[in-house]
Each structure stands twice: as C-alpha cells, then as structure tokens.
C-alpha cells in the first residue's frame, strides 16, 4: 500500500520547517515556489537520461548515476561556482564520508534555464525565511537509481543527516519500480513520518539539524525500472570541505 505524502501549500513551507522540521509540497506548489509553469520544470527531466555512473559506491553496486554542481544563492540572485568535489565528514555519511568525490557537472543548458534559476532562488528564499537571510551554499545532485542489479538503494548510507541546514528532495520520475518509501524521523526523538513520493516534481523539504531521513530500496516491476531525484542542499557559512573540517 502506498501512503500519500501530506502536501502543504508553498507559502507554509518555512513555517513548517520551523515548527516540525519538514514540509512536503505538491508539484503545483513547487512551480509556485519556483515562479514558473510546471511544464517548464518537466522540460528539465530528459537531462536525467544522460547521467554518468557513480564510480564511488562502496557497496559494489551499479545502481546509481549522478551529476553534481554547486551554486551560491543570495538575495540578489544565483551564481554557479567553479566545479568542486562533493565531500562529507564520516559523522554524517559513514559509508562515503571522508573522501573527495568528483562527479561530472550538470549540463550548462540545464543550469541556464529560467526554471532551474527560479527553483534554486525560490528555495533560497524559503531557507532565509526559516533560518534568517544570508548567502546559501547550494550543492545540486541529479540522481538516477536503477534496478540493474535487481535492487536499487536511494540511500545506501541508511537513515542520515547531510551536515547542512536544509535538504530538498524532488521526485523527478518513477518508472517501473516498487518500494522507495520515504521516511523522516526526529533526530532526537521517537516521532516519524513515512510516505511515498510518486508525482513528478513533488518536494520533501527537511531541516537537516532536526530530522534524519532515508528512502527504502526499489525493485523492478518492468524492464528498465528507475527512480530519478534532484537533491539540493543549502548550507550557511560555506560548502563542506576537507580543508575546513581539518582547520
């Protein structure tokens, strides 16, 4: 049985982050947040067909493809920064933390679209409403989890935090799979919520300081089954990197 997510209005996102640590928006709510038409967001989806394999999976799997780029969202706009490695401390990612992972960057034609610019800027405004206005260091991850090995693991590290301020998880596509249930838990308590994201461009928004999250494995129901997501992380005070962690 699929449990449907508890959608909220786009205007409620910041207040829900403050009050309970997460919010879920419908595709229409995401389009409102981004200041564009839903059809403009849908035009980004074909770029998920061109993701290189993730060569860093320590479990030996072949089920993940991804691209990664970084930006800074400020009150006066969004700018892309020079390509950089993705790095997390082991405290937040026991499986892949402590290593520099260089992924191929996002395609320039995707980053240049008004829908992409509006999406990242709109989320930056929500972060500032929830946590105070400031520049936000944004890491963007395009993921495809497929069923090449018979099973795909959206979060091979298990229930986790990302070591940032806010995490945004968008479902982009879900085709020929079962499973993939999203679970959100209080970081310091017993309360939790579970549901399945099924609609393209719906959004799970998380206060990473207050909650942990995971997504259960997927299995194929048809050849070529896969689950595509966009994960955006917003962090105050700069990007996570090995040099800063060792300072």
Q: What is the average per-residue pLDDT within 226-230?
A: 98
Taking only the tens place, the pLDDT of each residue in 187-214 is 887 778 999 999 999 999 999 999 999 9
Say if residue 93's pLDDT is above 80: no
Q: What are the CA-CA distances from residue 84 to residues 107, 213, 240, 241 (Å)?
A: 15, 25, 11, 10
Name the pLDDT band for 113 (thresholds 50, 70, 90): very high
- 10-246 belongs to CATH 2.60.120.620: yes
- Report pTM: 0.94
Q: For residue 244, is pLDDT > 80?
A: no
Higher pLDDT, 155 or 12: 12
Residue 247: the pLDDT is 41
Task: Please give the Cα distance from 171 to 180 (Å, whole number).
Answer: 11
pLDDT of amino acid 57: 84
Instruction: Residue 162: count other Cβ atoms within 10 Å of its Cβ.
Output: 20
The larger pLDDT score, comparing residue 224 to residue 157, is at 224
What confidence tier does 89 reach under pLDDT thresholds 50, 70, 90?
low
pLDDT of 95: 54
In degrees, rounded to 5, the angle at the alpha carbon of residue 12 between the alpha carbons of residues 7 and 13 is 75
Q: Indicate the pLDDT class of residue 91, thresholds 50, 70 and 90.
A: low
Task: Indicate whether 186 pLDDT > 80.
Answer: yes
- Please state, in angstroms and rounded to a whole number, the distance separating the CA atoms of residues 85 and 241: 8
Chain centroid, CA 65 distance in Å: 14
Average pLDDT value for residue range 114-124: 97
Give the pLDDT of residue 211. Answer: 95
The domain locations on the chain are 10-246
At residue 135, does pLDDT exceed 90? yes
CA-only gyration radius of the chain, Å = 17
Question: CA distances (Å), 227 to each of 37, 40, 144, 203, in order?
Answer: 23, 20, 6, 14
Model pLDDT, residue 245: 55
Contact 118, 41 (CB under 8 A): no
Six token digits for residue 103: 């992924």
pLDDT in tens, 15-51: 999 999 999 999 999 999 999 999 999 999 999 999 9
């Amino acid at each position: 049985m699929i449990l449907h997510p508890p959608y909220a209005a786009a205007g409620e996102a910041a207040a829900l982050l403050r009050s309970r640590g997460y919010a879920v928006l419908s595709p229409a709510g995401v389009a409102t947040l981004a200041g564009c038409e839903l059809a403009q967001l849908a035009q980004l989806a074909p770029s998920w067909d061109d993701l290189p394999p993730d060569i860093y999976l320590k479990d030996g799997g072949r089920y993940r493809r991804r691209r990664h780029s970084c930006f800074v969202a400020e009150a006066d706009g969004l700018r892309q920064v020079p390509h950089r490695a993705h790095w997390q401390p082991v405290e937040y990612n026991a499986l892949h933390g402590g290593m520099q992972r260089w992924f191929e960057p996002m395609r320039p034609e995707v980053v240049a679209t008004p829908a992409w610019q509006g999406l990242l800027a709109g989320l930056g405004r929500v972060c500032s409403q929830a946590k105070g206005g400031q520049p936000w260091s944004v890491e963007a991850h395009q993921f495809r989890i497929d069923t090449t090995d018979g099973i795909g693991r959206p979060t091979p590290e298990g229930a986790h935090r990302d070591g940032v301020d806010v995490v945004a998880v968008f479902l982009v596509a879900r085709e020929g799979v079962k499973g993939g249930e999203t679970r959100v838990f209080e970081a310091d308590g017993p309360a939790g919520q579970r549901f399945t994201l099924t609609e393209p461009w719906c959004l799970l928004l998380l206060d990473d300081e207050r909650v942990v999250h995971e997504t259960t494995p997927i299995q194929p129901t048809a050849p070529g089954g896969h689950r595509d997501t966009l994960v955006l992380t917003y962090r105050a005070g700069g990007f996570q990197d090995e040099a800063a962690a060792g300072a």
